[in-house]
Structure 1
Amino acid sequence: MTTEQHTQEIDAAAIEKDLLVFLEAKTKTAVEPSRELFASGLVSSMFAMELVVHLEKEYGISIVGTDLRLDNFRTVERMTELVLRLSGADGKADGA
């Protein structure tokens, strides 16, 4: 599957499911999409880099600059929004 094909198939439900499976496998804990991952102590700030690498590889996106804020990784919902925005799947043009 090419990156272009993969990006076209991205939707919020699929991203959320992928992230929940990834987090549950890594933490051995059930995770709700709105759970505060860092504030709850489920994951550490060091784990944030693993999340960045996972998202970049899985969705063919680059997370750099201001997108590397911890706020973008606090919940599965926030990470889903980030992926949609960076992949252009949220319906907005870059810089909009």
Structure 2
Amino acid sequence: MNFEEIAVKSHEFVSQYLNGAEVGREVDLFATGMVNSLFAMQLVLFVEREFGFAVDNEDLDYDNFRSINAIADFAGRKLGLGATA
């Protein structure tokens, strides 16, 4: 799996939550009010299930989940792909 695949899967998940709304990859999901803290937990569970790793307590930082690219970069780092965004 690479950064692009992670970003596409993450984008699909977020878009589905937003009822198909188009979201740019750099849009701050929390600052814009598009999502809330409850969705943040759903996002954490999605990342764990979809990409096959546990999100540790120290990983629970909005910066890791703030945008599609941030999610992809975070997951890529956890999967050993390095920083990609």
Q: Same fold (TM over 0.5)?
A: yes
Residue 8 of structure 2: aligned partner:
17
**Residue 65 in 1 paired to residue 57 in 2?**
yes
RMSD: 1.2
Q: Which runs of 4+ in 1 moved over 4 A?
A: none
Runs (5+) with no aligned partner, structure 1: 1-9, 92-96
% identical equivalent positions: 30
Residue 44 of structure 1: aligned partner:
36
**Residue 79 in 1 paired to residue 55 in 2?**
no
Q: 1:66 Cα shift?
A: 1.4
Q: Following the alignment from structure 1 to structure 2, what is the Cα–Cα distance between the partners of residues 46 and 25?
A: 15
Runs (5+) with no aligned partner, structure 2: none
Q: Following the alignment from structure 2 to structure 1, what is the Cα–Cα distance between the partners of residues 76 and 57?
A: 17
Q: Following the alignment from structure 1 to structure 2, what is the Cα–Cα distance between the partners of residues 67 and 43?
A: 19
Q: Which has the higher contact order (CA 8 A, sep 6+)?
A: 2
Deviations along 1:5-44, whole A, 9 cap, x unmatched? xxxxx10111111111111111121111000000001100
Q: 1:64 Cα shift?
A: 0.8
Q: Following the alignment from structure 1 to structure 2, what is the Cα–Cα distance between the partners of residues 25 and 65?
A: 26
**Residue 33 in 1 paired to residue 33 in 2?**
no
